[in-house]
Structure 1
């Protein structure tokens, strides 16, 4: 993935912005919890509720080693490490996210079970069969080479392991309205239909590919968050801390894209034979 994609997601002192927002929300760094961070720590559609739903669908278990591709700040990695009693390695192209995520991981005392590093999901720096499973939450919209992305996931997951993604798939009703969270103007956006995603996962070698439509759930969350923004009632801590002053317009367009069938949000679970 390109430098432009990384710079779209974040630049500057992300950790500092989060700390400022935590203080404004009355949260102490000396007693920080995963729950305290949750409003800003799950940078994808529906945030923590979507991470919880994904976890409900994963066959992960204690002692597993999981891969989080496009880990952002590491919120899902930390959540799954605690929920399942496993280790999670996260990778993301965006340097400021990794810097902030490492510091937050240390504040939470989770450095022994969560490892975050900067890198590209199209060329993973891990050996074959390293992981018991992997996932990518709202990452593939920015992936130009999906065959390589899915092929790398297949390579580093052990036989019998699982792989899951959530994404805004391309709809059939015309081009996407911009800006949206993953692209300001269409640059760096590489949407494919859910059907094409299934074909590409199958071509990479994955089987038992199960697709769940999440569009209405995502739409309701966009509408609710947008309503808060329009009333000037957004809390001190939330994804707008990362998205900046254009957050409301991005949420508005995201909702409109789903409503008009321009995007098709889905959750996909599959496995590597073995």
Structure 2
């Protein structure tokens, strides 16, 4: 049987993402770095709420210039680029999907950010970094693919300096009933490990974190989907559909329906190591 990590990586792998991204950008690929990065936000912020959600999360972390941040499940590096450019931090990202990491590092080079951001391919359950080397960690829409939340947070806790923070922004279970697939993170239930906020808080506590706060971002999510639906015409070439393949419309419809019904919600949790 194929290892779970390989199945998850395959779920996200497109195979021609770099070429497709450049084709969608066209002449806009030559835009100045700031303008290009703004344009890329439509595709490299692969989570409900997009860039606005990332900005809100970063503000709650109150990052300081020069800090080292670990981005778990970094994807194409959208969150890493926002943190680096807006807050002056150095970001190390890790993701299971090699294609995402390769394309993300290519984008960092194009934007002149290679010296400030490093994306590597690997598992959040076996982090290949020096212990106590990060001031903060971020994790956006990642835990839905990880069954053992305690093991995940133990790994992250070992990477953080005393007082280090973690900001989590995951889709969590907020109501009863069976989930309808496919969803952006899983084609079926075999790759989906959605948990309730209480499960996250308990896992964080077992790993040595002190939970500081929790925010339900359901209203932000509903507004995000309503805005997407209000746009006239077909889905844009440069958008989240690029990362979700032929089932993109179905995946987005399913997650929107289940968030609006109260089964799921994007939840932000902040915690720190004493």
TM-score, normalised to structure 2, is 0.94
The reply on whether 1:264 has 2:268 as its aligned counterpart is: no
C-alpha RMSD of the superposition:
1.4
Quote the Cα distance in structure 1 between the aligned partners of 2:230 and 2:38. 23
Kindly indicate whether the alpha-carbon contact (under 8 Å) linking 1:173 and 1:262 is maintained by their aligned counterparts in 2: yes
Q: Secondary structure at the match of 2:189?
A: coil
Kindly indicate whether the alpha-carbon contact (under 8 Å) linking 2:14 and 2:245 is maintained by their aligned counterparts in 1: no
Residues 204-243 of structure 1: matches in 2 within 5 Å? 204-228=207-231, 231-243=232-244
Kindly indicate whether the alpha-carbon contact (under 8 Å) linking 1:29 and 1:107 is maintained by their aligned counterparts in 2: no
User: What are the Cα deviations for residues 209-237 of structure 1, in whole angstroms up to 9, with x where unaligned?
Assistant: 31000012112212332444xx5343331
User: What are the Cα deviations for residues 99-119 of structure 1, in whole angstroms up to 9, with x where unaligned?
Assistant: 100100000010000000000
The reply on whether 1:34 has 2:37 as its aligned counterpart is: yes
My pick for the range that moved more, 180-189 or 233-242, is 233-242
In the superposition, relative to structure 1, how do residues 232 and 99 fare at CA in structure 2: closer, same or farther (>3 Å)? Answer: same
Residues 40-189 of structure 1: matches in 2 within 5 Å? 40-189=43-192
Offset, 1:186: 1.6
Quote the Cα distance in structure 1 between the aligned partners of 2:185 and 2:222. 16
Task: Note the residue ranges of structure 2 that are not aligned, 5 or more in a row.
Answer: none
Quote the Cα distance in structure 1 between the aligned partners of 2:32 and 2:62. 31
User: What are the Cα deviations for residues 64-113 of structure 1, in whole angstroms up to 9, with x where unaligned?
Assistant: 00000000000110110111111000000001000100100000010000
Kindly indicate whether the alpha-carbon contact (under 8 Å) linking 1:166 and 1:266 is maintained by their aligned counterparts in 2: yes
User: What are the Cα deviations for residues 162-202 of structure 1, in whole angstroms up to 9, with x where unaligned?
Assistant: 00111111132211111111111222100110111111111
Q: Secondary structure at the match of 1:66?
A: strand
Quote the Cα distance in structure 2 between the aligned partners of 1:146 and 1:124. 14
Offset, 1:261: 2.1
User: What are the Cα deviations for residues 30-80 of structure 1, in whole angstroms up to 9, with x where unaligned?
Assistant: 634311211111111111111111111112100100000000000110110
2:251 paired residue number: 250
Offset, 1:122: 0.8
Quote the Cα distance in structure 1 between the aligned partners of 2:190 and 2:69. 31
Task: Note the residue ranges of structure 1 that are not aligned, 5 or more in a row.
Answer: none
Q: Secondary structure at the match of 2:131?
A: coil
Q: Secondary structure at the match of 1:232?
A: coil
Aligned residues: 269
TM-score, normalised to structure 1, is 0.94
Quote the Cα distance in structure 2 between the aligned partners of 1:264 and 1:31. 36
Kindly indicate whether the alpha-carbon contact (under 8 Å) linking 1:59 and 1:162 is maintained by their aligned counterparts in 2: no
Quote the Cα distance in structure 2 between the aligned partners of 1:220 and 1:182. 21
My pick for the range that moved more, 110-119 or 170-179, is 170-179
